[in-house]
Amino acid sequence: MRGSGPTGRSVLGGMVRGHWRKLLVGAVLGAGHQAGEALVPVLIGVIIDRAVDGGDGASLVRWLCVLAAVYLGLSFSFRWGAKAREDAALDAGHELRLRLVGRVLHPGGGAERGHLPGALTSIATEDTRRVGSVANALVLGVSVLAGLLVGAVMLLRISLTLGLLVLVGTPLLLWLGHLLSKPLERHSAAEQERAAHASGVAADLVAGLRVLKGIGAVPAAVARYRRGSRAALAATLRSTRAEAWQTGLTTALTGVFIAVVALIGGRLGVQGEISLGELVSAVGLALFLLGPLAGLAWINAELAQGRASAARVAAVLAAPPAIPGGAPPAGPPPTGHVLRLRGVAGEGLRHLDLETTPGEVLGVALTDPGHATELLRWLGREADPPSGAAELDGVPLTRLDPAALRATVLVAAHDADLFGGTVEANVAAGAPDGADLAPALAAAGADEMVRSLPRGLATPVGERGRSLSGGQRQRLALARALAADPPVLVLHDPTTAIDAVTEARIAAGLRALRGGRPDRTTLLITTSPALLAVSDRVVLIDEGRTVDAAPHHVLVERHPAYREAVLS
């Protein structure tokens, strides 16, 4: 149940309320601009009528001045009105983006559920921008309606018949065009999807280029892409042909409409009911009104898109946290840092018991590596176990504020992300300001590697550390966790991408850095024998149950399952 959180409607409402001043300025000035545009054809008619027809020079000058004043007004209104609405749209998008990121980063988590990171990023960029654009579309809608109103009044003042003809005719014309193009639109959306798919295939093949080269599959990939590209071309051609006929149809219908207006207007003119200038104005207005009316259709589409985007943004904002909040810490913070699990179960884990002693390096070996992820999520309170008790110094984790818990317990995943920036910024991310990074780098076996980088600690690691190899990334992530120096450190498989010699060095370094300090507890969740061998004790979890806790060499002797999981 997501009842209380924001909805798409409330996201849009909040945006309008938050920026009403700029939106109002935009709407008023926008209306002025549209009214000015409607006056231009009217004034052309007036000048033809009053000045050109009679050869009246003074009148010409006078009316050209009026036209100049109209231009000045419409240009000014357009410029400052558009600025106000565009600024409001961008600011609103920016604010919403920050709100969304704030929700994603909230210690309670839960916002990522059901979204791939790429999809969530696109909500944070594209959807927030589109919600902002709703401000634009709303203001434009008001302006366009004002333009239509001015045009309508002008036409009705010229002639009731002609006015009604244009006012009924233009929407009818657009509706007709819309009706005729509807099946085409549906068609074309499907076709464009196929075309987009072809470009997705290209990007996917390039992303897998090493794999293709590795097995000599480049010719097969080229042939496959060519087939896809040709199919996409055929689809695109069908859709562009449909669009071309739609454009042609609209052109023809508009022309016929103008002919009808000219016929009726001409008759009225011949009969002396309207002046020559009014006839010219009416034809000009009929042509002009098509613009704002077509604009309304565009605004409608934009609003529909904006509503859909607002709903997507709201769904993320309203996502319930993955865990209940927990009370703020009562009394002095716990000191012993004893982590205890009692009968914890869920997601394939059936009965987990373990308890750390202060200053211990505790190995945790799971015979099914798939279970480790869930255990990590519970220890870091990304989720709570369905049953059993997890406690820190006797306080259930569920009663601890997740952010406060993480100040004591740091869970470092084996595939932890690096962030853009330098090596130094990454390693220092969780460390106190001005901390010495050298011991952590040395313990993580990253010191030599960092020295070999072109600019040492100042080397940029690229987007998410992509310019480094897997082994380099893993060592930096480990150094970062060690540099943070948390009271309780949980490390998950920190050496999977690292060679045996370096792994042995890391095991010794870890032991030296964390071991034997009564205020520091370390959990190593791994099946790496090198790491388990330096642990004080190892908890063996087989088939989802804690079966024993003893030093590595003892478990090796006692349990075939341990030997199978840990030693090949």
Partner 1 sequence: MTGPAEQPRELLPVATGPRTRAAVRELIGPHRALGLAAALTMTAATAVGLLTQPLLGHIVDQVAERRPVGALTVPVLLIAAVAFAHGIGTALGLSLFSRLGETALAGLRERFLERALRLPLARIERAGSGDLTARVTADVTTVAQAVRNALPELVRSLLAIVLTLGALAVLDWRFLLAALIAVPVQAHTARWYVGRAVPLYAEQRVVTGAQQQQLLDTIGGASTVRAFRIEDRHAARVAERSGVAVGVTKRGIRLLLSFYARLHIAEYAGLAAVLVTGFLLVRGGSVSIGTATAAALYFHSLFNPVNAALVLMDDAQAAQAGLARLIGVADLEPDADDAESVGRRATPVPGAAVTVSGLGYAYQPGRPVLHGLDLTLAPGERVALVGASGAGKTTLAKLIAGIHPPTTGAVTVVGDVGLVTQEVHVFAGPLAEDLLLARPDASGPELLAALERVGARAWAEALPEGLATVVGEGGHRLTATQAQQLALARLVLADPPVAVLDEATAEAGSAGARSLERAAERALEGRTALIVAHRLSQARSADRIVVMDGGRVVETGTHDELSTAGGVYAELWAAWSLSRALSH
Selected range binding partner 1 among 6-14, 21-29, 163-171, 206-214, rule: CB under 8 A: 206-214
One-character DSSP codes across 477-511: HHHHHHHH--SEEEEESTTTTS-HHHHHHHHHHHH
With CB under 8 A as the contact rule, the residue among 181, 502, 522, 546 that binds partner 1 is 502
Nearer to partner 1, 448 or 519 (CB): 448
Q: At its nearest, how many Å lie between partner 1 and the CB of residue 261?
A: 10
Question: Please, are residues 53 and 276 in contact by the beta-carbon 8 Å criterion?
Answer: yes
With CB under 8 A as the contact rule, the residue among 1, 210, 394, 433 that binds partner 1 is 210
First to last CA, the chain: 48
Question: Please, are residues 120 and 316 in contact by the beta-carbon 8 Å criterion?
Answer: yes
In sequence order, the 6+-apart residues with CB closer than 8 A to the CB of 252 are none
Told to check if 422 binds partner 1 by CB under 8 A, we report: no
Told to check if 205 binds partner 1 by CB under 8 A, we report: yes
Q: At its nearest, how many Å lie between partner 1 and the CB of residue 16?
A: 19
Nearer to partner 1, 11 or 534 (CB): 534
Residues 129-188 that bind partner 1 (CB under 8 A): none
Q: Is the dihedral of CA 386, 391, 392, 397 positive or negative?
A: positive
Distance CA 273, CA 267 (A): 9
Nearer to partner 1, 480 or 514 (CB): 480
Of 490, 505, 351, which Cα lies nearest the Cα of 412?
Answer: 490
3-state class percentages of the chain: helix first, strand second, coil last, to nearest 5: 65, 10, 25
One-character DSSP codes across 281-321: HHHHHHHHHHHHHHHHHHHHHHHHHHHHHHHHHHHHHTPPP
Q: At its nearest, how many Å lie between partner 1 and the CB of residue 424?
A: 14
Q: At its nearest, how many Å lie between partner 1 and the CB of residue 9?
A: 24
With CB under 8 A as the contact rule, the residue among 305, 467, 517, 548 that binds partner 1 is 467
Other C-beta atoms lying within 10 Å of the C-beta of residue 405: 24
Q: At its nearest, how many Å lie between partner 1 and the CB of residue 309?
A: 16
Interface with partner 1 (CB under 8 A), residue total: 180
With CB under 8 A as the contact rule, the residue among 214, 331, 332, 432 that binds partner 1 is 214
Told to check if 361 binds partner 1 by CB under 8 A, we report: no
Strands 488-492, 521-525: parallel, antiparallel or unpaired by DSSP?
A: parallel
User: Looking at the DSSP assignment, which residues form a beta bridge with residue 55?
Assistant: none
Nearer to partner 1, 186 or 227 (CB): 227
Distance CA 161, CA 271 (A): 13
With CB under 8 A as the contact rule, the residue among 9, 20, 21, 75 that binds partner 1 is 75
What's the full length of the chain, in residues?
A: 568
Nearer to partner 1, 343 or 368 (CB): 368
Told to check if 380 binds partner 1 by CB under 8 A, we report: yes
Strands 361-366, 521-525: parallel, antiparallel or unpaired by DSSP?
A: parallel
Told to check if 501 binds partner 1 by CB under 8 A, we report: yes
Distance CA 561, CA 275 (A): 102
User: Looking at the DSSP assignment, which residues form a beta bridge with residue 354?
Assistant: 341
Alpha helices in 123-208 (DSSP H): 128-158, 160-207
Told to check if 427 binds partner 1 by CB under 8 A, we report: no
Contact letters (x/-) for partner 1, 216-245, by CB under 8 A? xxx-xxxxxxx--xx-xx--xx--xx-xxx
Q: At its nearest, how many Å lie between partner 1 and the CB of residue 375?
A: 13
With CB under 8 A as the contact rule, the residue among 21, 94, 186, 545 that binds partner 1 is 94
Q: At its nearest, how many Å lie between partner 1 and the CB of residue 45?
A: 9
Told to check if 561 binds partner 1 by CB under 8 A, we report: no
Scored b (16 or more CB within 10 A) or e, 299-320 reads beebbebbbebbbbbbbbbbbe
Told to check if 284 binds partner 1 by CB under 8 A, we report: yes
Nearer to partner 1, 79 or 342 (CB): 79
Nearer to partner 1, 291 or 329 (CB): 291
Contact letters (x/-) for partner 1, 10-49, by CB under 8 A? ------------------------------xx--x--xx-
Helices (H) and strands (E) in the chain, counts: 19, 10
With CB under 8 A as the contact rule, the residue among 253, 296, 457, 547 that binds partner 1 is 253
Told to check if 457 binds partner 1 by CB under 8 A, we report: no
Told to check if 109 binds partner 1 by CB under 8 A, we report: yes
Nearer to partner 1, 60 or 387 (CB): 60
Strands 537-542, 339-346: parallel, antiparallel or unpaired by DSSP?
A: unpaired
Residues 330-349 that bind partner 1 (CB under 8 A): none
Selected range binding partner 1 among 164-172, 303-311, 349-357, 497-505, rule: CB under 8 A: 497-505
